[in-house]
Structure 1
Amino acid sequence: MCGIMLFAKWARRLAHLSILMLNYSMIEFDVPPDGGLLVVLSGTMGSGKGAVTEELLRSLADFRVGRVTSATTRHRREGEIEGEKYFYMTREEFMRREDLGEFLEVNPAFANGERYGTLSSELLHKLVENDIVIHEVNISGARAIRDLYKEARTREKLLTVFLMPGEPWRDTVLKRIGEDIQNPRDGIRARLKEAEIEISHKDEYDAVVENRDGYLENCVSDIKGLILKQLSLVKIQKQDKI
């Protein structure tokens, strides 16, 4: 019975995902002209976004590099620090700030009822303070951000990367989350369907990078190379405008 209920919840989440591709929340936001390069990182569950982000922050230590802190209504887990990866809010506070238009983008509720979003003030602060800003966000959030950077004067200051688990991706994902490859639970099957939808949008990104087991260093090196190349384009654009 529990498996059926969990599957139903994830089925509703899957329906939400189809809707959010066209229906995300966005407010007026001016990209700071002298702000840093924004690196948007998306990927399926088990793609290793968190590990890749941590390694990128370390490998880019010669630059002023920051990470966007997202807001969430989920409870803080043991060992998590407020403001490091998430701002933890009550649902009432989250909804109040959403009504005030403080979010750049907001994801619909997950199966567990929790919500996630990007505060425009947080993104602006990180862009002004850093040369490079890394933001882990899902496909709808990435689309919202691309719309902000669609003007020619700002497009070179955005790099979007989709992180793929190593092939065969389903087996890789199940292995990484400790799931039975031959017989995953119903809720996990629904999440795999969600991952299929996410992967179907990978070509919307500037680059697709594979994160294979045992090759994290290579994956990080590839993304770092893309970042440095994009930074050089930004510098050329600035020189042309002088």
Structure 2
Amino acid sequence: MNRGKLIVVSAPSGSGKTTIAKKILEKFPFMKFSVSATTRPKRNGEVDGKDYFFLSREEFEKKIQNGELLEWEEIYGNYYGTLKSVVESALKNGDILVFDVDVNGAISIKEKFPEDSVLIFIKPPNMETLKERLKRRKTESEEQIKRRLERVPMELEKAKYFDYIFINDNLESTVKSVVRAIFDEIEKWKAIQKHEY
């Protein structure tokens, strides 16, 4: 059986990474979404086990202690992380997993699975647009938006570690570019697998 692959989409908050990750799954229905664990409260319409595994702080910290997380980080007072078991079983089963994670999480995944992962960074066109998008979401307070914007320079700095960088100034054309990049990667994997068997 062929080993699975990891497609990791990352971006500053409000750059459209979740929307783009969902569009990838629509275009490639055989791919699976890697559900992250978090301690942040559920937003309207979110489903436990589908959007996130919603855990209490205590449960999450227990998973950190037990080494059950591939990567994790505390952002804006909440934990976010990827369960090792989810990734290991996908790679073993030959699945292609799509991730929607923060920048540091993406880099951790690449460090642990350099041969199996492709990192895609979504850049906002500019800070003003990003600010507008975060306000339009109406999911955070002014203080939370401010904290998210303070992280952006660090996130943009880390884009250089990614395999692909796309500026999301138009969602439709950004999705097309991301899909094209994934097609190219799938072709590369097929070519490698032909040589291996």
Tell me whether the two structures share a fold, i.e. TM-score over 0.5.
yes
Shift of 1:193: 2.5
**Post-superposition shift, 1:105?**
0.7
**Do the aligned partners of 2:33 and 2:97 also contact (CA within 8 Å) in 1?**
yes
CA contact (8 A) 2:110 2:118 kept: no
- 1:136 pairs, out of 97, 100, 111, with 100
Per-residue displacement from partner, 1:108-141 (whole Å, max 9, x unpaired)? 2x33x32111100112233445642110111211
Q: Contact 1:47/1:165 (CA < 8 Å) preserved in 2?
A: yes
Measure the CA separation in 2 of the matches of 1:68 and 1:102.
Answer: 15
Residues 230-241 of structure 1: pairs in structure 2 closer than 5 A: 230-241=185-196
Pair 1:229 & 2:184 matched: yes
Residue matched to 1:38: 6
1:217 aligned partner: 172
Structure holding more strand per residue:
2
Question: Unaligned stretches of 5+ in structure 1?
Answer: 1-32, 180-184
- Given candidates 124, 148, 164, the residue that maps to 1:191 is 148
Distance 1:129 1:220 in 2: 27
Aligned to 1:176: 133
User: Which structure 2 residue ranges, 5 or more long, are not aligned?
Assistant: 137-141
The alpha carbon displacement at 1:104 in A equals: 0.5
> What's the CA shift string for 1:186-216, capped at 9, x where partnerless?
654443231011001111100101111xx21
Asked if the contact 1:41/1:135 (under 8 Å) is kept, the reply is yes
Tell me the TM-score normalized by structure 1: 0.74
User: How many pairs does the alignment contain?
Assistant: 193
- Name the amino acid aligned to 1:217: E
Matched, 1:200 2:157: yes
Per the alignment, residue 57 of structure 2 pairs with: 91
SS of 2:3's partner is coil
> Which residue pairs with 1:160 in the alignment?
119
Amino acid at match of 1:85: D
Paired position in structure 2 for 1:59: 27
Cα offsets for 1:158-206 (capped at 9, x unmatched): 211100112xx10110111227xxxxx5654443231011001111100
Q: What's 1:79 paired with?
A: 45
Contact kept in structure 1, 2:31 and 2:95, CA below 8 Å: yes
SS in 2 for 1:50: helix
Aligned Cα RMSD in Å? Answer: 2.0
Letter in 2 for 1:161: I
Q: Which amino acid in the other structure matches residue 73 of structure 1?
A: T
